[in-house]
Amino acid sequence: MSKSSRRAVFGMIAGCVLGVGIAPTAVASPDPCSASGVAATASGVLNSASGYLDGHPDANNVLTAAVNQSPADAKASVRGYFLSHPGEALELKGIAQPLLDLRSRCNTSVSPDQLAALFNALSN
């Protein structure tokens, strides 16, 4: 193969490699208001909240204890804790923000009770 032929072949290969590397990929974004979009958002929020609470054991303990309290007592203890720890309240609000954004974008909201009811219905 002549020198010019080798250059042409090398140039074509290099062009193909570069073209593949920079060619835009057509990947459709999932509809954020679809069931899978809501599940993806909720799972991301729950994963972030889990990591946050692992790093903030006092907040984790208050929220864990609230599960076994009456609604009024749970509200009072959680409210009392976060009023005395406003930075943590703001950080958790930031973690939950994608769900708030989803509610306004999709004109819907998802609560943990709704997710639990869905999974209970599927398991029966």
Span 13-25, pLDDT tens digits = 444 444 444 444 4
Instruction: Name residues whose C-beta falls within 8 Å of residue 82's C-beta, 6 or more positions apart in sequence.
Output: 59, 88, 89, 92
Domain that holds residue 88: 30-123
Q: Answer whether residue 39 is part of any domain.
A: yes
- Does residue 19 belong to any structural domain of this protein? no
Residue 73: inside a domain: yes
User: CB atoms < 10 A from the CB of 53, how many?
Assistant: 19
pLDDT tens, residue by residue, 39-97: 888 889 999 999 999 999 999 999 999 999 999 999 999 999 999 999 999 999 999 99
CATH code for position 102: 1.20.20.20
For the chain, the domain total comes to 1
